[in-house]
Amino acid sequence: MRQARPSRRPYPFPAHRRLQAPVLITSSTVTNPPIGKAMTQDTIHIVLQGKGGVGKSLIASLIAQSITDNGRPLLAIDTDPVNQTLARYQALNVCTLPLLDRERQVNSRAIDDMIEWLLAHDGDSVVDNGATSFIPVTGYLAETGALAVLRDVGKQVLLHSVLVGGQAMEDTLAGLSALLASTDAPVVVWLNEFFGPVEREGRSFTESSLYLKYRARIAGVVTLQRRNSETYGRDLALMTEKALTFEQALKHEAFGTMPRHRLWQIREDVSRQLQPLLNPPQAAAA
């Protein structure tokens, strides 16, 4: 039976066009900037984590907004078969690509289609992957040599994974460990402090054995710091509930002067951390 084609808004598959999204955030504690990459090289950002509900889609949206803020053409793809959160951001012109077939099994041909989209796009790309397809997608990347194919045509690939504090920390550590062990691309680690400090026995992530083992592979660490839940937390929750970019929220009637100021602070904090990863210094070129 002929497989249904993945959907893309507003252009139908397989058309590949430059997407003009609004502008937004950027920056990080860059420990190992990607080597030998010019500022204008196309970069593919893939967000992967086997634990659900830890902020993957938020992170994908932050990266996407940062790319458009830098004036780069953006291709954003939501592959989550359960919760297509990123696709709700209309300003980012997100493509949807269902990875599950009718038997709820991951369809490798759909991942093939995603690789074709990434190869054809002239600009930067962001892929938001769901927790349910984490193992199949990482397995696909490891077994098929897809990362090498992307690099061979001049694309830079950055994998992004998230760690959280609290009860889910061990699960997210396991997911990050599996990602590092099964792939060879640089990884950006996001520390989401929403559920508490990302620490184990008083030691930070950069003091952990996992970090020390893979330090050469970790391109940077970005912290989403824990803030007052009654102010910053409610502002960010309302913004994400409405699927607004920062640019939209800062002009939206639902936010008064102080909520806008707090959102601006969050945006600037992420920008300060993420920008070096999106714009690695040309001096790093070998």
Say what the pTM is: 0.84
Residue 43 and residue 63 in contact, taking contact as beta carbons nearer than 8 Å: no
Is 50 inside a domain boundary? yes
Neighbouring CB atoms inside 10 A of 203's CB total 11
Is 254 inside a domain boundary? yes
Is 2 inside a domain boundary? no
Domain count, the chain: 1
87-99 per-position pLDDT tens digit: 999 999 999 998 8
Is 189 inside a domain boundary? yes
pLDDT, residue 281, reads 54
CA distance 7 to 212: 41
Question: Rounded to 5 degrees, what are φ and ψ at 187?
Answer: -125, 135
Q: Confidence band (pLDDT; 50, 70, 90) for 283? A: very low
From the list 65, 30, 63, 22, the residue with the least C-alpha distance to 46 is: 63
Average pLDDT, the chain: 85
CA distance 229 to 136: 35
Type of residue at 267: R
Beta bridge partners of 159: 46, 187
Is 285 inside a domain boundary? no
From the list 193, 141, 147, the residue with the least C-alpha distance to 172 is: 193
Phi-psi map region of 226: left, alpha, beta (phi>0 left; psi -120 to 50 alpha): beta
Find the CATH number of the domain harbouring 24: 3.40.50.300
Is 68 inside a domain boundary? yes
Is 1 inside a domain boundary? no
CA distance 144 to 21: 32
Is 156 inside a domain boundary? yes
Retrieve residue 145's tokens. Answer: 């040599």
Is residue 27 scored above 70 in pLDDT? Answer: no
CA distance 120 to 219: 25
169-215 per-position pLDDT tens digit: 999 999 999 999 999 999 999 999 988 899 988 899 999 999 999 99
Q: What percent of the chain has pLDDT over 90?
A: 70
pLDDT, residue 28, reads 37
Q: Identify the domain containing residue 203 by its residue range.
A: 7-279
CA distance 80 to 77: 9
Hey, is 257 helix, strand or coil? helix
32-89 per-position pLDDT tens digit: 434 333 345 899 999 999 999 999 999 999 999 999 998 999 999 999 888 899 999 9
